[in-house]
Structure 1
Amino acid sequence: MNADLMNKVAVVTGATSGMGRVIAADLVRAGAHVVTIARDPARADALRAHLGPQAANRLEVVTGDLSRRSDVVASAKTIADRHDEIHVLVNNAGAHFPEHRVSVDGVEMHIALDHLAAYGLTALLDGPLRRGRARVVNVASDTLNDTRQIKLLGRPRPATLDLTDVDDLAELNPANGFVPFEAYARAKLMTVTAGYALARDLAADGVTVNALHPGIVATGIVDDLVPPVLRPARTLIRRTMLTPADGARTAIRLATDPALAGVTGRYFNRDTESSTPPVSHDRDTQEKLLALSRAHFAERMR
């Protein structure tokens, strides 16, 4: 990393493990004051210990569960009250759920955590992000381009997102016909789709919004995504994957590289700019998704 982040504020979600821990640590060591939202204070303490005494005072922890609408709203308010400007927001938190689960707000958990948390923080921190001319980085997954778990035969099968008759995001990823891998991919597609629209809106104030696929990284999410037929070989499979440090590299680059200043509304597969399904570029779909996402937070944002 060649950026000077001294006196800059960076918000990083999912920072207590995996890639997020690497991203947070690298930003702290580059001089940034890093704010993270953690559900488990003990894991946040472990992150502080990992950073060491010289850097630990540049880590700020806000307690919250990003799958809960009230916690997203409360965390954003706490951060905005403490920081007039935010210069980096890395929406890294995410999870894969092998069974159908619903959040306390009645939304399927992939939608709640893998899309609404990122959207909510970006929208609720609008003022500080604009004042900081921030870089917003959304960690997605290339499952959005191909939802097949075993890709040996046939053509790619992109994630789908049909919002034509949808009045509430709670209607998406229903229990009937639930396929975990496709539900996960759809939520990541939603984050990228919303990000394209947010990038246009925020550009006037110098804020950039980009998304990335970090590669196949050896994390708990990948363990869940391994098809049952391949699970006996999971240990061997992990050895072929990227480390969290490898996976974090693209997110750090998008957040800090001076050569990417002003670059916005893009999707990167590791270090290569790449494409996403046509539906993600459809303006009507983007606007409907933003409207539904705003509505999810509307009561709490009044």
Structure 2
Amino acid sequence: MTDLTGKVAVVTGATGGMGRIIAADLARAGAHVLTVARDPARADALRALIGEQAASRLEVITGDLSRRADVVTAAKSISDRHDRIHILVNNAGAHYSEHGVSADGVERHIALDYLAAYGLTTLLDEPLRRGRARVVNVASDTLNDTRQLKLAGRPRPATLDLTGVDELADLNPAKGFVPFEAYARAKLMTVTAGYALARGLAADGVTVNALHPGIVATDIIDDLVPTVLRPMRGLIRRGMLTPAEGAESAIRIATDPALAGVTGRYFCRDTESSTPPVSHDPATQRKLLALSQNHFTG
């Protein structure tokens, strides 16, 4: 990996799964790494993974990224301590098997899988611009196909219809709630907003890209496996990528000199790929950004 001495990196979801590998590798490469954690004690395991020599380069901020107030507070703490950010990996995410809302009344997938990434990216605007940062949004290719069993038929992309939507709390309602589709819609929102933010940040050298890291054996997978296949969950996990293998693509996009200046793209692992047409629709992008901004300022 490129020497990252003197660089500042923010990695969310860094106390478990793929995120802890990303954070540890960036710290070992010399970066000062910040993460936001609900339970700071979980960072002890991350420090152990990083190793004694690099552990001092880990900075933990307490916060729950599903809560608007905590996202705002975390962003302020980061920007107060660091005037430049060089890498932002928005990796925090979860899959919820039942409908629920955040403390702010927003469906939980949208709160954590989308708004945490949007909020940090926009609230850290100035230090990201000063650092000519690379922003990497960890998405999921469920946005291209929401079928859990893909044995036959055509892909069924996630949908994002904002017609008549006045606030983000209107999305993923309890009526007709399908967990897998709700998760995929939140990831689609992350990619859609990312395309628009990439254009606005490009003039200052900031890049914004998203990726599907592959099917990685993390805790989220346990919830995503269809009920009929759960007795085979152990066998299924053995056929998946390890968290370290999944982290490779995110680290590459965040650090590879060959990707300098590449922005507004979506990758499936290391291959540039496409996303549903609605993600490129200017009107949808504009309304999504307006709704998201209102969530943090309204």
Q: Normalization by structure 2: what TM-score?
A: 0.99
Which stretches of structure 1, 4 residues or longer, exceed 6 Å deviation after superposition? none
Q: Which residue of 2 aligns with 1:298?
A: 297
Shift of residue 164 of structure 1?
1.1
The range that moved more, 50-59 or 288-297, is: 50-59
- Contact 2:208–2:264 (Cα < 8 Å) also in 1: yes
- Is 1:226 aligned to residue 222 of structure 2? no
- Could you tell me which residue of structure 2 aligns to residue 250 of structure 1? 249
Q: How does 1:261-276 map to 2 (within 5 A)?
A: 261-276=260-275
Q: Give the CA RMSD over aligned residues.
A: 0.5
| Corresponding pairs, count | 298
Is the Cα–Cα contact under 8 Å of residues 25 and 50 in structure 2 kept in the other structure? Answer: no
Gaps of 5+ in 1: none
1:175 aligns with 2:174: yes
Indicate the residue corresponding to 2:22 in structure 1: 23
Cα deviation for residue 152 of structure 1 reads 0.5
Tell me the CA shift for residue 175 of structure 1: 0.2
**Secondary structure, counterpart of 2:23 in structure 1:** helix
Written as runs of structure 1 = structure 2, the 5 A alignment for 1:97-246 is 97-246=96-245
Match of 2:283 in 1: 284
Secondary structure at 2:148's aligned position in 1?
coil
Question: Following the alignment from structure 1 to structure 2, what is the Cα–Cα distance between the partners of residues 145 and 79?
Answer: 34
Letter in 1 for 2:143: L
AA aligned to 1:60 is: E
Q: Which residue of 2 aligns with 1:84?
A: 83
For 2:238 and 2:139, locate their aligned partners in 1 and report how far apart those are by CA, in whole Å. Answer: 22
Q: CA shift at 1:140, angstroms?
A: 0.0
Given residue 251 of structure 2, which amino acid in structure 1 is its aligned partner? I
The aligned residue for residue 3 of structure 2 is 4
- The amino acid across from 1:71 in the alignment is D
1:250 match: secondary structure? helix
Deviation at 1:18, TM superposition (A): 0.7
Q: Secondary structure at the match of 1:121?
A: helix
Q: Percent of aligned pairs with the same residue?
A: 82
Give how far 1:201 is off: 0.1
Gapped runs of 5+ residues in structure 2? none
Counterpart-to-counterpart distance in 2, 1:213 and 1:25: 20
Partner in structure 1 of residue 56 of structure 2:
57
Q: What is the CA–CA distance in structure 2 between the aligned matches of 1:41 and 1:168, rounded to whole Å?
A: 32
Give, in angstroms, the shift of residue 45 of structure 1: 1.5
2:272 aligned counterpart, secondary structure = strand
Q: 1:52-98 CA distances to partner (integer Å, 9 max, x unpaired)?
A: 21111000000000000000000000000000000000000000000
Task: Classify the secondary structure of the residue corresponding to 1:136.
Answer: strand
Report the Cα distance in structure 2 between the residues aligned to 1:204 and 1:265, rounded to whole angstroms.
13
**8 Å contact 2:147–2:155 — kept in the other structure?**
yes
Paired residue secondary structure (1:60):
strand
What amino acid does structure 2 have at the position aligned with 1:83? H
Instruction: Please report how far the alpha carbon of residue 47 of structure 1 lies from its aligned counterpart in structure 2 after TM superposition.
Output: 0.9
How big is the shift at 1:4?
1.5
Which residue in the other structure is 1:260 paired with?
259
CA contact (8 A) 2:72 2:119 kept: yes
Give secondary structure in 1 for the equivalent of 2:246. helix
Task: Provide the rounded CA distance (Å) in 1 between the counterparts of 2:68 and 2:10.
Answer: 18
Q: Which string of whole-angstrom CA distances, capped at 9 and with x for unpartnered residues, describes residues 169-201 of structure 1?
A: 000000000000000000000000000000000
| Alpha-carbon shift at residue 46 of structure 1 (Å) | 1.5
